[in-house]
Chains A and B, each alone.
Chain A
Amino acid sequence: MTLSDVRGHSLDLKGIGHAFGTTVALDEIELAVAAGELIALLGPSGCGKTTMLQIIAGFLRPSKGEVRFDGARVEHIPANRRRIGMVFQNYALFPHLSVFENVAYGLRARKRPNAEVAAKVEQMLGLAQMAQFARRLPGELSGGQQQRVALARALAIDPGLVLLDEPFSALDKNLRLDMQIEIKSLLKTFGVTSIIVTHDQEEALSMADRIVVLNKGRIEQIDSPDALYDRPASLFISSFIGHTNLLRGAVTETDRVLLDAGPEINLGRSAQRRRGTAVTISVRPENIAFGAADRPGAIPVTIRATVPLGAVSVTEVLTTSGEAVKISQARAATTTKARAGETAWLAITDTSRISIFSTPADGVQDHQQRSV
């Protein structure tokens, strides 16, 4: 059997809802995952993503709705007969078994002959670059090595679906990106359908083909990483995915918004809201720059601080209406050497990349804080 023959399941969730007592954890979940796709479930803690994972894995039976693998309903099938590979947050390696026996566990549970087990385990450990550690105990491995073993163990049973629960949260920040790239390429080599649960938007952006954003038990948006960043469906997503600047204002003309911070800006398209509607616009830090005072749409601000971050430098400023704004510039291109306390003017580089949302009744403050 060659690796390319291994095909993942397609997965469909239809009308999934789940409640713990009177607390609704998930509601009206609709999701279709194609075979071989890598999906991230992204959301803040308590958004229902772990509940969703447990329902897919079969550790939890949903209160309502259907779970389908390759079109067939599986809610009644227990976890140990679902052919799912799980990678846990703490890896959950069996501490009393060697690396070899950890990877062999699923095959032994299926009572495969010893020769087949040995061959398969060696193949998996080779792919995970862990062959020389076969006889070690998990406690004798580093975090990254433990994670490789956990993934090898999950993939050894030829799963139709791999579920990864916050797999990188226990790793050093430096190691994290390396492991993300390595694991993504392993999952893609296997062509296995994968679902990764995370609260870390960078992890979701770097790993997934598509990202499912969950908030308060509901799906807010399902889209590719780029689409999610460029065209967020809600104020929540615009501040949850990447950094953004939120500016309050009101619609004055079909295509114009008067900002509380001063100027009226031309959106270049319809705001799709009635005149006088209170709106919040979201401008990414790289879409805003210092400009001349007399330029149309220039926003007067006071400089607070500049932070050099390697390739870019980030300057934080305060508008006259009290909104904090971050401007990201390539360091080489930094023309304005602004000092704290000085006044400067900002201009939005590309107004077509502004996202516009109705200002919620409870204000935007809590959304903004979550993005920090």
Chain B
Amino acid sequence: MSPADTTASRQLLPALPLAALFFAAFVLPLTALVLVSLFRDPQFSDLSLVQYVRFLSDPFSLKVLSDTLWLGAEVALATLVLAYPLALVYVASGQFMRTLITFLIMLPLLTSTVVRTFAWIVILGRDGIVNSAMLSLGFWQAPARLLYTWEGMVLALTQIQLPLMALPVINSLLRLDGNLTRAAEGLGASRARIFITIVLPLTLPGAIAGWLLVFAAAATAFITQTLVGGGRIILMPSYIYQQAVGVQDWPFAAALSLIFTLAVTGIVFAVGALSRRFVRGVDAA
């Protein structure tokens, strides 16, 4: 072994514990998942690709996958629309307001998802805050069904995932050179034009990073999807749970998991690659 090799291996030594953990907790289970998905039936009798054929030829399964990806996209878009005004207020604020806004954004991250989801059940329920307020103010005649609806689920996930979008957007807005907006203003551009032609394109890397984070997090949010969606809406996470724990069809559940993982990472990479082609001259966030 040459001296250079020994230094290189010495330098890698501190990374060993993490590598071991990564291997045990990620590589091994994933390999097991792939293996399990290749069995013909729940009795693990024969190897075959039948589980994948079953998924791809089943309109119900395909619909569940597309609904789930659509949910992620919709929630990510909603957080994006909310994050920009928030980030603009943040950047324009003084030190005290910035600290306050940071605290408010971080707060949801400091509470458990279960707690936050139950809070939404309290808010959206038949006798919840929204219904009782609207009824007593006379806007609604009868309580509306908010819980266990698609819209309710999007609403709850949007609030819960907002920090993942707000933080990268704020970060890229802070890195925007103030002279660029001043130059645009000096050249006669209105505030709307400055936002669309300068601020938005130059903060796009942050927005895309946030979009991808929220997309992946919302599409796979088992707890919130299950509790706020309430079993009426079948999405991939609960579908996998049902097949594995309910029906005990482990091979199919494993195939579902792998297809879902591939679909989400595929979209993440595709959007990332696409955005790099469009965003010229901007440093990646």
Contacts and interface: CB of A to CB of B under 8 A. Distances in A.
Contacts of A109: 184, 187-190, 193
Contacts of A290: none
B190 A92 contact: no
A79 B179 contact: no
A85 B188 CA distance: 10
Interface in A84-124: 84-86, 88-90, 92, 94-97, 105-106, 109-110
Contact of A106 (B179, B188, B279): B188
Give chain B's interface secondary structure class.
helix
Interface residues of B, number: 21
Contacts of A322: none
Contacts of A154: 187
A137 B97 CA distance: 37
Interface string B164-204: 00000000000001011011111111100100011001100
A94 B187 CA distance: 12
Contact of B187 (A96, A106, A139): A106
B183 A96 contact: no
B185 A105 contact: no
Interface string A127-151: 0000000000111000000000000
B280 to A, nearest CB: 6
Contacts, number: 73
A106 B182 CA distance: 12
B249 to A, nearest CB: 50
A80 interface: yes
A76 to B, nearest CB: 16
A266 B281 CA distance: 66
B262 interface: no
Given A59-B182, A92-B177, A139 B189 contact: no
23 contacts: A57-B186, A59-B182, A78-B185, A80-B189, A82-B186, A86-B183, A88-B183, A90-B177, A92-B177, A92-B183, A94-B183, A96-B201, A96-B282, A105-B184, A105-B197, A109-B184, A109-B187, A109-B188, A109-B189, A137-B280, A153-B187, A154-B187, A157-B187
Given A80-B186, A86-B187, 20 more contacts: A80-B190, A81-B188, A83-B188, A85-B187, A89-B179, A92-B182, A94-B184, A95-B202, A95-B281, A95-B282, A96-B279, A96-B280, A105-B187, A106-B189, A109-B184, A109-B190, A109-B193, A139-B281, A153-B187, A157-B188
Interface of A: 57, 59, 78-86, 88-90, 92, 94-97, 105-106, 109-110, 137-139, 153-154, 157
